[in-house]
Amino acid sequence: MRLATFRRRADEPHLRQVGLVLGQGDHVRVHPFDAGFDLVGLLAESPEWRDSQADVAAAGDGLSLDEIVLLPPVYPVAMRDFLTFEAHVDGMERGHGNPGPPAAWYDAPVFLFMAPHAVTGPYDDVAMPPDTERLDFELEVAAIVCRDVRNATLDEARAAIGGYCVMNDWSARDIQGKEMSLKLGPSKGKDFATTIGPWVVTADELDDCRDGDGFLDLPMTVSVNGVRVGEDRSGHMGWSFEQLVSHASRASWVKAGEVLASGTCSTGSLAESWGRTGSLTPPPLQVGDVVEMTIERLGTIRNLVVEPEESVDAVAPARRRSRLEASA
Amino acid sequence: MRLATFRRRADEPHLRQVGLVLGQGDHVRVHPFDAGFDLVGLLAESPEWRDSQADVAAAGDGLSLDEIVLLPPVYPVAMRDFLTFEAHVDGMERGHGNPGPPAAWYDAPVFLFMAPHAVTGPYDDVAMPPDTERLDFELEVAAIVCRDVRNATLDEARAAIGGYCVMNDWSARDIQGKEMSLKLGPSKGKDFATTIGPWVVTADELDDCRDGDGFLDLPMTVSVNGVRVGEDRSGHMGWSFEQLVSHASRASWVKAGEVLASGTCSTGSLAESWGRTGSLTPPPLQVGDVVEMTIERLGTIRNLVVEPEESVDAVAPARRRSRLEASA
């Protein structure tokens, strides 16, 4: 089942609804559930109950994509981004002059917490952030958590994952590089936009897409202005999503409404090419570029890079403690 | 005004209330506001309106700290931790064999997003996390945001900060070090507990605690088992909280209910001593240790380190892509 969050173009911007997605390509129609239905809540229900509600929704006329704006399927209560694709780590490390992934990468799936308020809809424009000359994308799979878990076994983790969607973790590489040199990981380098969508495909729909180890194995592609620039498979992750949830929940809460992302797949970003080749080829994204990402069975997100918003001035450099002490 | 979130010991654990804190030391009493009052909502109101509601609450009997459990004042919608104390960065960098803060540190206030679900109450026990032999604390000031802002000027940022509290950003240094070597910043090294409290002191109460540049300047101390191990002043931050909010909000949302923390003050963690001296002195925290932090005007938080919870097994090492390709 495919579940979308949307608003009608004619309605107030804050009025959100959940809808059942039926049809393919130009024939997609979104059939609203009754007001009050919550996407994460629907994911937590049994497939049978969800089917019974979907039957009710499907009986209505439905709306074409022209009549609605698809929103981020969820507004996450927290967002974690992992680093699970070995070949991506390899490319990035070579960019830093290292021979390949550090030994520590293989030990456990490292992640960072991301800006939860930066999620944007699957076809929304993305404004060029301030101060960057190296805007990049990151092609990822995202899992939506529908149950609170702590110390989840792999079985419990599987039951806690309600569905999956496509994610573009937009990244300003020059800002990110500076931030990461201070060892805290990226923040302003990534907090301006994270595109998720186009909708959530429920986990039970994807049982036939698992490999022998139970890893979700879906082809992933990304193009810029219609030219294919990257492709990989989610089966190349070093850990399954169930392992990611279990790891994250070890002595810690993972809560319903969280989004956990795979990290960038191999060739799923420009920076990996920059690392491998030592040159800015393909070039950083510019205003006017269109980035399109498709993951089989999950759908396509497509975003135009637009002019930066008018932003507040950057803050002044640090007040130095030595200056304070000299004047004391 | 001091505002606490609490539950009555006799009530169900999920029943939270907001209360006005009156009195000092052993004579503190918490006077409940009517059910439905929300702490962040109260912070967003004018001081005059808040005072009028506080008068109503204060007319009641109030509860002693024996009758209630103080909870985290807010359950953050997102949490950012900055790195604003120059002397702390200096000590940590020396621990990594570097001569002092990198030039990039002075340019802009770097931060990371933290685990929002890990907040614990001001007197709660903290369980030793799994797999660490280097448990540490971090003494910080935290600001509570009460208004959504984007591209906030310093004046707008000031209006968006509702109040302040004490924060202990508990850290497992050995896990954190491994995670930071992968350049994403700490996650499992910090996501097990973040203590905030004991309550929020509204920003308007602290106007007399600002220095000539408008920086909040409060003495901060930390002790382990009653022995003072660190002290500093919030005036030694490299940026004011208004600058932190403005920076975070540049082309990005900072939302009501967020917590923004100063980062560790100088001598506000054991790791800084370890960095400066090259030895584990004072030693890492052990089960049975009590960490107490006081910030003048904000109050005291005090936590006992207890035995680890029973946790799920660590996940297996990464499935290697080379193995997949060989078997394909």
Q: What residues contact A134, with CB distance under 8 A and at least 6 apart?
A: A172, A173, A174, A271, A280, A284
User: What does each of the 328 residues of chain B score in pLDDT, given as a tens digit?
Assistant: 999 999 999 888 788 999 999 999 989 999 999 988 999 999 999 999 999 999 999 998 999 999 999 999 999 999 999 999 999 999 888 877 888 899 999 999 999 999 999 999 999 999 999 999 999 999 999 999 999 999 999 999 999 999 999 999 999 999 999 998 888 889 999 999 999 999 999 999 999 999 999 999 999 999 999 999 999 999 999 999 999 999 999 999 999 999 999 999 999 999 999 988 889 999 999 999 999 999 999 999 999 999 999 999 999 999 997 766 665 5
Nearest alpha carbon to residue A233 among A223, A218, A244: A218
Name the CATH superfamily for A79-306.
Answer: Fumarylacetoacetase-like, C-terminal domain (3.90.850.10)
Under an 8 A CB cutoff, do B114 and A116 touch?
no
pLDDT at A148: 98
Element (H, E) at A175: helix A173-180
Structure-block tokens of residue A116: 């939860």
Question: Which CATH code fits B78-306?
Answer: 3.90.850.10
How far apart are the C-alpha atoms of B221 and B228, rounded to whole Å? Answer: 7
- Distance, in angstroms, between A66 CA and closest chain B CA? 28
How far apart are the C-alpha atoms of B236 and B233, rounded to whole Å? Answer: 6
How far apart are the C-alpha atoms of A144 and A245, rounded to whole Å? Answer: 10
Domain coordinates of chain A in residue numbers? 2-70, 79-306
Under an 8 A CB cutoff, do A179 and B80 touch?
no
Under an 8 A CB cutoff, do A113 and B112 touch?
yes
How far apart are the C-alpha atoms of B303 and B288, rounded to whole Å? Answer: 10
* CA torsion through residues A91, A96, A99, A101, sign: negative
pLDDT at B326: 62
Under an 8 A CB cutoff, do A83 and B316 touch?
no
Contact A29, A223 (CB under 8 A): no
How far apart are the C-alpha atoms of A82 and A244, rounded to whole Å? Answer: 8
> Which chain B residue is nearest to residue A157, measuring alpha carbons?
B312
How far apart are the C-alpha atoms of B110 and B115, rounded to whole Å? Answer: 17
Find out whether the peptide bond into A282 is cis, omega within 30 degrees of 0.
Answer: yes
Residue of B173, B178, B182, B325 to mutate, testing the A interface (most A Cβ within 10 Å of its Cβ)? B182
Q: Predicted ipTM?
A: 0.96
Residues in chain A within 8 Å Cβ distance of B182: 83, 102, 104-105, 110
pLDDT at A66: 95
> Which chain B residue is nearest to residue A187, measuring alpha carbons?
B112
Tens digits of per-residue pLDDT, A98-146? 888 999 999 999 999 999 999 999 999 999 999 999 999 999 999 999 9
- Distance, in angstroms, between B224 CA and closest chain A CA? 24
Question: CA separation (Å) from B302 to A102, B56, B125, B156?
Answer: 39, 30, 9, 33
